[in-house]
Amino acid sequence: MQHETVSRAESRRTGQSDPLQDISDLESPDAAAFLSAWLAMLAEDLADVRLIAVFVEDRQAGDFAPAAVHPDGRGDLTALEPVAREVLETRSPAQGQDDGGAVLIAVPVTVAGGMPAFVALQFGTPGAGVTLRQRQRIVWALGWLERRFMEQRAEETASEHAASLRAMDIFASVGAERRAPAAAQVAVNALAEDPALTRVSLGLVRGRPRRGAPVRAEAVSGKAWFRRRSATIRRLGEAMEEALDQGATVALPAGEDSQRIAVAHRAYQQETGAAAVATVVLFDDDLPVGAITAEGASADGIPPDTLRRLAALAALLGPVIELKRRQQSWIAGRAVDLAQSGLVALFGRHRPSYRLAALCLVVLAALPFAIHKPLRLVSDATLEGSRQIAAVAPFDGIIAEAGTQAGARVAEGDLLFKLDDRELELEAAKWRSDLDQLAQEERRAVSDGERGEAVLLQAQRRQGAAQLALAEARLARAEVRAPIDGIVISGDISQRIGAPISEGEEVFGIAPLESYRVVLEIDERDLDLVRPGETGSLRLTARTDAALPFEITSVTSVARIEEGRRLFRANAELLAPAESLRPGMEGVARIDAGQRSLADIWTRRLRDWVQLAIWRWMP
């Protein structure tokens, strides 16, 4: 390219240059081609110029270096040093003379208030000044340079803007994840999209952040799962630990002036066959919390711009991922932080109110153990009569009449129900007729002197009398009446008139009104606390305004299961029955089971469950 540019310059001197080719060189995206064409064009316009050099800023070194020199690119630039030094100090045009009297000029190229480059010229005729036309041509030519550097600055700004947007996208994606492993996976997958990188891995320290802590690989780009005990992952962890121990970025291949130890990185590079490897440390509050290891395919190493972007993203991602890791771990994370901050606030000199608050909390925590209250066991309760009398069918028959129904109050002797007695009436009438006939035949046999037949007829008449008495007794029992004053608590045959009924079948249940008992359902966990003689109170659903006292009379072994709980039956006697009570009423009973501390009352269920669980799982 340089030989071609020199040839074009010679063509301009001989008047054989191609204008279209000159313009195309000035529009070339290649910086070297552009600068060479620009120098050749300026040299042709100025004619009496001996040496032209373009110095461009090297941002990494913080200095200016020659980017293009005319005429041959290899000239001695020592003569330009005085004006070059002056333009660097003043950032304005400078003019002087060399030892031979030739004029020296240095002109800065300014873009957006900065000076990305400057041009230094040495004219050929000693003692001759710079003409107005030459100055105009220099200013005109600088316009090309300024436009070129403005375009370059715009491209860099657009690239930086795109990189910033990409970094914000990665940061937002990582922040959207709730758990540290998922956030790490999102981060490495996003970082691996850089064309200069082939694979990115992220590891976090185990335990509290500190130098020398072991590192565990959490995520590898493009892999949802990997074997943590494989040789490659083990080498990766050692490379990350090497960077954490030094607290700085470690890269291979390393620069000539690099002082970093890269033994583990070299071993990892040999293990994976990667052309380039670099590890950037993640920090949180100046403590290393992890590392990002990037691999590249270029033997020249990972580009410096990529490393800078990686380091900038690591500075953002370190605190975020560490915060997520600590939040998902109570024992090693938030609990430790809370304990440390609490101890500092409690024993610090500047917050006495915290110590007062802690003392109040200690007193409040001790009060439940010092205050004793009655332990009251709560259970469901049902009100029943002290005794229940069943009204049953006296014999097989047909229901003819219902005198009452459940819930009705009855007096002793009131009709409860009546069975159909028509067949019994006919049977009694038949036996009466048979008895009259047997009596006539017996009198005839006696009058005829047939003594044996008279004895036989007499026996048949006695048997008929017994059958008649039985029929009349059953007739008398066809009407079933209330044996006591009370209330009908069960039974309703109003819809069974004319239906058959079997002997002994219960039709009604009757309970007295003057005495009641309470049936309690005791949870098996409270059974050892309930004993006969203990007292309590009952509030019925129908009478929530008054508590009825009772005393437990017995605790039975009868149990039933309801909603997964085993309930045992206990009987209690009402000590002060109230009016308007009815058997079957339900409510809630509270049994007094002695004095206990509030802490014991509040935690007894939990303690029972823990003791049972320990017993169940204890070897």
pLDDT tens sequence across 470-496: 777 777 777 788 787 777 877 777 778
Domain segments of the chain: what residues?
2-155, 177-328, 334-370, 389-508, 515-617
Q: pLDDT value at position 295?
A: 92
- Dist CA 499 CA 398 (whole Å): 6
Domains 2-155 and 177-328 alike in fold: yes
- CATH code of domain 177-328: 3.30.450.40
Low-confidence ranges of the chain (pLDDT < 50): 1-24
Determine the distance from the C-alpha atom of residue 365 to the mean position of all C-alpha atoms in its chain, rounded to a whole number.
31
- DSSP per-residue string spanning 424-459: HHHHHHHHHHHHHHHHHHHHHHHHTT-HHHHHHHHH
How many residues are given for the chain? 619
Q: pLDDT value at position 368?
A: 85
- DSSP per-residue string spanning 222-272: TBS---TTSHHHHHHHHHHHHHHHHTS-EEESPPTT-----HHHHHHHHHH
Q: pLDDT value at position 4?
A: 42
Q: Which two tokens stand for residue 218?
A: 């959490």
Q: Which residues contact 208 (CB under 8 A, 6 or more apart)?
A: 332, 336
pLDDT tens sequence across 277-306: 999 998 888 888 899 999 998 888 888 888
Architecture of domain 515-617: Beta Barrel (2.40)
- Dist CA 115 CA 483 (whole Å): 122
Phi/psi for 309 (5° steps) reads -65, -40
Fold (CATH) for 2-155: Beta-Lactamase (3.30.450)
Q: pLDDT value at position 200?
A: 93
Alpha helices (H) along 387-520: 422-447, 451-477
Q: pLDDT value at position 15?
A: 41
- Dist CA 286 CA 114 (whole Å): 34
Contact 397, 420 (CB under 8 A): yes
Give the largest Cα separation in the chain, rounded.
198
Q: Which residues contact 305 (CB under 8 A, 6 or more apart)?
A: none
Contact 493, 507 (CB under 8 A): yes
Q: Which two tokens stand for residue 212?
A: 């020398």
**Secondary structure (3-state) at 498:** coil
Strand order in the sheet with 94-97: 63-70, 49-58, 114-123, 103-111, 94-97
Q: pLDDT value at position 13?
A: 42
